[in-house]
Amino acid sequence: MQSAVTRVTPVTTVRPPVAPIFRSDSIENFNRLSYAMYDLSRCLSSFLYYHRLQDANSNSTEILQSFILTQQYVDSVLGYEREKMKCCEIKYKSPKQASSQSLAIRG
């Protein structure tokens, strides 16, 4: 007796491309800056580990200046993007009844 074999073809969902919130160059700059901060922090850690306090002092000053400049840059980009999005209005609604799934997620 032969069993009937049914072939199931996978269904692929085609989704429209998502419009990016930020320009890709802004994201690349954020990423590059965060890696630079990480590298500076690793250098500082190494200087402190080997008791190279003079180098650690100058490195920490450089880190502080870099963090301040990065914060100013990020704030300006976010401010620019915020201004561009002022035409949009987003409304958030909470569920009327708490489902068991939402309670499990909230803990």
pTM for the full predicted model = 0.55
Q: Note the pLDDT of residue 83.
A: 83
What residue segments make up the domains of the chain, in order of their start?
A: 24-89
- How far apart are the C-alpha atoms of 24 and 30, rounded to whole Å? 10
For residue 57, count other CB atoms closer than 10 A to its CB. Answer: 12
Structure tokens at 3: 């069993």
Residue with tokens 């199931």: 8
Asked whether residue 82 carries a pLDDT value surpassing 50, the answer given is yes
Greater confidence (57 vs 8) lies with 57
> Which single residue is written with the structure tokens 């009327």?
96
Is the pLDDT higher at 105 or at 70?
Answer: 70
